[in-house]
Amino acid sequence: MKAMKNISVKIPPKAALALTLFIIGIIYLGNLPVNYDFDGTVFSQYLRYAVLKNDLVLSAQPQHPLYIPVNYLLYKTLNTVTGYSALEYFHLQLFSLCFGLLTLWVAYKFIREITKHGLFPLMGIALIAFLYGTWYYAVEAEVHMAGLFFIAAGMYLLFFKPGDPDTWGRTLGATLCFALAAAFHLANGLIAFGVLLIFLLEKKPFGKILRFFFIYGAMVAGVLALLALTSRQDPLAHYKSQVLGNDTLAGQKISYWTGFSLKSLWESIQSVIHGILPSTPPGLSVLAHVIFLAMAVVIILAAVNAGKNGTRKTAYRLGCWMLPYFIFFTFWDHRNTEFKLNVILPFMILFVVSLASFTRVRDGVKTGLSGLLIVSVFLLNYYFFLRPANDIRTNHNYLVAEAIGKATPPNAVIVIGGCGTELSKHNTIYIPYFALRETFKLDWMLGKNLSLDDIANRVKQEEAKGKPVYVFSEILHESKTLDRLFKNHNLQSTDYFAFLAGLNLHEKIPLVDGYYLKKTISPTASPVSR
């Protein structure tokens, strides 16, 4: 019996890491949401169009130049080699999942190098994996996980990997990672300010600073130059419209800038907090605030003691990683959690290593608290986020698009509002992607200076081509969609309803949840065509 008590099974660190990532990967893969993200559906439509047209250049987007081209090449290669023909949305989810796991692997290396504690790196990546923000973007058809991985990898190479950080190999590796991050999403270029701040705090020689930024600048400029030379869009016009707040599609004045105030600062902090747990229901949001406050206290207490255990450099380096993202995205689209991933990841790494640094607290207590936190975050995010997201019946927008696909012929054109409600917004991409139907988006068309008469003529042109045209119920009567449409384009209700009357609407076609279509019939159409 005594001999059996002394038997202990030790799993090698690499095997333990592989097993942990495998389990997380299985959980991710087994819970890919079908409550399809709006932006993810846009990306999927871009990818589908590029694949169908067999056109790599067509897929480039100014704000994230590499994301769709890389996925286009990956999709085409897999298709050629294996016959792979997955739904584009699913393909992009798998792409996010792979980079999500790679990001966790780099986070493990961070924590292991800082703490030298056998169990905390594994527990740390488990906690990070099941945060709402990390989990959501690791299973969605979104652009952010690849950029987050390259930022984390670059920071590790430059500042945390053991050995001489000033070698040419380390410098080139880090700059390449940062350049790739910016190429996946230009906002990732903000890491340059964090790196510069660290260099200045550590009094790096000017020559080394210049060398780093020359290489980094040349790499990013090369990507942007290639985009400008090959793109069929105008990247400069796109960037200008984003900065000045003029929507390139609808022609509306939509500003993403927020003037500084205590309210915007608090809302920016909340977007980080909601990266821990979803913001709804309210009780869950309160719990997320409590957890975040507790983590902040742990970090502050560890920082106070940092001079005694030599971890001050770790704290300010991770802080410099977070700072440019938090500052910029407090002034730009400040409520959006997706732009706070480069705050959430270093914050969580800092929390884990701070907790591990408390030598006066027994390891068993720290492990127990960490385990309780991991299980709580996992169960709450699963119950309130993943479980409903895995039920297609909760995706109201998809059900409407599916019903339209079943109720109309393949060559149909659907006239929608395109603004005002979540459904109207989602219709702009759900109907083309999931119903495979062409849409006339009134908000976009009016934003391109087309009049109601112009739009009526476009409808007649489609009918003349033999295409049936249907009008969606949200724009057939007073609604939030029409209120927004009138406000966006200074429309008078009398003019609008006269426009509808001129479309000669007949044949009401029920969809789901009380929504319906009405078919337009040209007054010149023959009885047979009706």
Q: What is the pLDDT of residues 432-482, one digit of tens each?
A: 999 999 999 999 999 888 999 999 999 999 999 999 999 999 999 999 999
pLDDT at 387 (0 to 100): 86
Residue 176 has pLDDT above 80, yes or no: yes
Q: Give me the mean pLDDT over the 358-367 stretch.
A: 77
pLDDT score at 12: 81
Yes or no: say if 346 and 321 are a contact pair by the CB < 8 Å rule: yes
| Res 257: pLDDT | 81
Residue 410 confidence class, pLDDT cut points 50, 70, 90: very high
- CA 395 to the chain's CA centroid: 18
pLDDT of the residue at 310:
55
Residue 508, sorted as left (phi over 0), alpha (psi -120 to 50) or beta, turns out to be beta
DSSP string for residues in 317-341:
HHHHHHHHHHHHHHHBSTT-GGGGH
- Indicate if the pLDDT at residue 72 is higher than 50: yes
Furthest-apart CA atoms within the chain: distance in Å: 96
Please report the pLDDT score of residue 522 as a whole number. 67
**What is the percent of the chain with per-residue pLDDT over 70, rounded to a whole number?**
93
Structural tokens at position 118: 């056998």
Residue 328 has pLDDT above 60, yes or no: yes
Mean pLDDT along residues 61-72? 90
The whole-chain average pLDDT of the chain stands at 89
Tell me what the mean pLDDT of segment 187-214 comes to: 93
Q: Which residue has the tokens 């030598």?
A: 359
Yes or no: say if 258 and 113 are a contact pair by the CB < 8 Å rule.
Answer: no
pLDDT in tens, 132-152: 999 999 999 999 999 999 999
- Weakest mean pLDDT among 2-6, 176-180, 442-446: 2-6
- The alpha carbon torsion through 331, 332, 335, 341 (nearest 10 deg) reads -100
As a whole number, mean pLDDT of residues 36-44 equals 94
User: HSE (CB half, 13 Å, CA atoms) of 521?
Assistant: 13
Return the higher-pLDDT residue of 60 and 439: 439
Mapped onto helix, strand or coil, the DSSP state of residue 505 is strand
- Higher per-residue pLDDT: 138 or 59: 138
At 526 the pLDDT is 43
pLDDT number for residue 530: 34
Q: Which is higher by pLDDT, 326 or 171?
A: 326
> Which residues lie closer than 8 Å to 173 by C-beta, 6 or more apart?
154, 157
Q: Is the per-residue pLDDT at 262 higher than 50?
A: yes
78-97: average pLDDT: 95
Alpha-carbon distance 340 to 493, whole Å?
Answer: 41
pLDDT above 80: residue 240: no
pLDDT band at 229 (very low <50, low <70, confident <90, very high): confident
Higher pLDDT, 366 or 496: 496
Indicate if the alpha-carbon torsion angle 359, 360, 363, 369 is positive or negative: negative
pTM: 0.92
Give which of 415, 401, 484, 407 is closest to 445, Cα–Cα.
Answer: 415
Position 92 scores a pLDDT of 97
- Split at pLDDT 50, 70, 90, the class of 28 is very high
Q: Does the pLDDT value for residue 1 go beyond 70? A: no
pLDDT at residue number 470: 97
Nearest-angstrom CA–CA distance, 271 and 338: 9
Least confident of 7-11, 85-89, 384-388: 7-11
The distance in angstroms from the start CA to the end CA of the chain is 88
Q: What residue spans define the domains of the chain?
A: 260-359, 395-520
Residue 478, both tokens:
């007073």
Confidence class for position 8, pLDDT limits 50, 70, 90: very low
Task: Fill in the amino acid letter for 512.
Answer: V
Contact in structure between 525 and 459 (CB atoms under 8 Å):
no
In this structure, are residues 521 and 503 in contact, taking their beta carbons and an 8 Å threshold?
no
How high is the pLDDT of residue 528? 36
Least confident of 26-40, 351-365, 367-381: 351-365
Nearest partner of 401 among 38, 30, 142, judged by Cα:
38
Average pLDDT score over residue span 175-194: 96
Residue 7: predicted pLDDT: 42
**What is the Cα gyration radius of the chain?**
26
Give the separation between CA 165 and CA 243, rounded to whole angstroms.
36
pLDDT of amino acid 238? 75
Token duo for residue 216: 């980094």
CB 470 within 8 A of CB 509: yes
More confident residue, 232 or 296: 296
With DSSP H G I counted as helix, E B as strand and the rest as coil, what are the percentages for the chain, rounded to 5? 70, 5, 25
| Helix and strand numbers, DSSP H then E, in the chain | 25, 5
pLDDT band at 153 (very low <50, low <70, confident <90, very high): very high
